[in-house]
């Protein structure tokens, strides 16, 4: 007596969906028991093309064309649709590729600053009422006072530093570095006072030149700029790191 063999097919299939109106690829799972007409209605929510204007092409997992899905009454499972196949939707309504994703084509609402200032439902008005950010005068005054105090401290510290001083650089989160002061003053790259240092070791970021302007000279990777409050001047002899030894 011969044994009977029953083939069980997975009731669902995972396919890749692409279309002529979008550059995106979507991976979805569908029931093999739905008709092509039902399948198209589900694709409407994915690609945005009306079902009546859909032409469906079936490709295998290697993107080789297999056939068209033309019979709306046929079941999806009646076609050789396997996992990782690709179904490409061609929109015959005249919609162009990228129409739904190109934001440059979207009309933008613009309003003048004066008109925006008068609106009662704006974010700016909300911040004013809640005294947030720059609209908190007390907080802004405290920030300005703190900044002015720090600038005075930086200026005073810079006045106590002279070119040629040996120094120790201490910055939170970084190892202590020893070097020689090569520059003290303002810079073009950032506001405030800065100290240019030539380190004893190649622990810096430049050679004394930043953005094309030379503030001092040193070997590459030996130069750096730090804030005056990070500089401690004193008797810090240069150590012999054996850089000239073979």
Q: The CATH number of the domain where 175 resides is what? A: 2.30.30.190
Q: Tell me whether residue 208 is exposed, middle or buried, using C-beta atoms within 10 angstroms of its C-beta: 0 to 12, 13 to 18, 19 or more.
A: buried
CB-based contact 5:80 (threshold 8 Å): no
What average pLDDT is seen over the chain? 85
Separation between Cα atoms, residue 180 and residue 199, nearest integer Å: 6
Q: Residue 28: give its domain's CATH number.
A: 3.10.20.90
Separation between Cα atoms, residue 72 and residue 69, nearest integer Å: 8
Q: Is the per-residue pLDDT at 172 higher than 90?
A: no
Give me the mean pLDDT over the 216-229 stretch. Answer: 95
What's the start-to-end Cα distance of the chain, in Å? 89
Separation between Cα atoms, residue 47 and residue 24, nearest integer Å: 9
Q: So what's the pLDDT on residue 7?
A: 44
pLDDT tens for 180-189 read 999 999 999 9
Q: Is residue 98 part of a domain?
A: no
How many distinct structural domains can be found in the chain? 2
91, 120, 144 - which closes a domain = 91
Q: Is residue 1 part of a domain?
A: no
Give me the mean pLDDT over the 47-55 stretch. Answer: 89
The domain containing residue 39 runs over which residues?
Answer: 12-91
Q: Is residue 151 part of a domain?
A: no
pLDDT range class, residue 5, cuts 50, 70, 90 = very low
62, 91, 120 - which closes a domain = 91
């Amino acid at each position: 007596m011969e044994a009977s063999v029953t083939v069980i097919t997975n009731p669902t299939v995972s396919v890749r969906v692409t279309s002529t109106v979008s550059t995106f690829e979507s991976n979805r799972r569908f029931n093999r028991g739905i008709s092509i007409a039902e399948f198209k209605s589900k694709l409407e929510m994915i690609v945005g093309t009306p079902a009546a204007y859909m032409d469906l092409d079936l490709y295998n997992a290697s993107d080789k064309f297999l056939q068209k899905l033309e019979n709306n009454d046929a079941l999806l499972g009646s076609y050789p649709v396997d996992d990782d196949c690709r179904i490409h939707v061609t929109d015959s309504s005249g919609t162009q590729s990228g129409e739904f994703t190109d934001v440059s084509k979207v009309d933008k609402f613009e309003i003048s600053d004066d008109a925006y200032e008068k609106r009662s439902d704006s974010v700016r008005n909300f911040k004013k009422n809640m005294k947030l950010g720059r609209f908190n005068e007390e907080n802004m005054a405290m920030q300005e006072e703190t900044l002015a105090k720090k600038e005075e401290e930086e200026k005073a510290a810079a006045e106590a530093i002279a070119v040629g001083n040996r120094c120790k650089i201490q910055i939170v989160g970084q190892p202590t570095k020893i070097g020689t002061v090569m520059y003290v003053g303002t810079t073009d790259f950032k506001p405030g006072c800065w100290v240019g240092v030539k380190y004893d070791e190649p622990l810096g970021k430049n050679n004394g030149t930043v953005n094309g302007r030379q503030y001092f000279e040193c070997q590459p990777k030996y130069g750096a700029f730090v804030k005056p409050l990070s500089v401690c001047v004193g008797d810090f002899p240069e150590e012999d790191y054996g850089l000239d030894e073979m």
